Amino acid sequence: MPSLPNPLFCALDRPDLGAALALGRSLGSGVGGLKVGLELFAAHGGKAVRAVADLGLPVFLDLKLHDIPNTVGGAVRALNALPIAYLTVHAGGGRAMLQAAAAEAGDGRTVLAVTVLTSLDDADLRAAGVAGGVSDQVLRLADTALGAGVGGLVCSPREVAPLRERFGRAPLLVVPGIRPASRGDDQKRTMTPTEALAAGADVLVVGRPITGAPDPALAARHLLAGARSG
């Protein structure tokens, strides 16, 4: 997979569309794309996606669709009306659901299968009855998702290296859980931007380290400069 000119995508995770657009506008060329997630989409729907796309950067629509194949296929087909570059579905939905999503995605759109959320660890999976730990589960889900024809995966930075070892450079790996340093929040499997890129990540999705900074544009530039210097 060719490297993106700017691998840093900012998550516009807020319900206020005006504030989200102001943030996206302020980041300018400091990021390579913008993510619209559940919070902003639930508040404003397709209007938010179109407005964010008008800022001139690729839009990553992170809805993590997970339902029966017919429903997910129909949802992806409906979302083709929106100007998006990336769309997420849950890898745990099974091969038929993933195939339906990949089949319905319009030209220029990449379906990404979310493996294991970065807020979960081995203990969480054991509590849910999943054996083998996070790394094993990510590889199992990746086998299914890539075999079903999706264009890439969403994983924590800690699973990037084993995924590259198994699948090579072909799949696009989109990586949340990016932190400039260790910090206490709900993300359990994290790395710095430098570490994630060195492991083989293609896209780094960053929210709070940018959006919660006093100067988000400066924070984004520092993150990108640090990643590239590594």
H or E stretch covering 33 = strand 33-36
Residue closest to 84 by CA, chosen among 106, 114, 66: 106
35 is catalytic: no
Q: Which of 35, 47, 64, 188 is catalytic?
A: 64
The alpha carbon dihedral of 154, 37, 31, 58 has a sign of: positive
Cβ contact 27:10 at 8 Å: yes
User: Do 31 and 1 contact (CB within 8 A), yes or no?
Assistant: no
Burial class of residue 70, CB neighbours in 10 A (0-12, 13-18, 19+): exposed
The pair phi, psi for residue 186, each rounded to 5°, is -85, 5
**Of 207, 205, 221, 218, the residue nearest 152 (C-alpha):** 205
- Measured distance CA(182)–CA(188) in Å, rounded: 10
Residues with a known catalytic role:
64
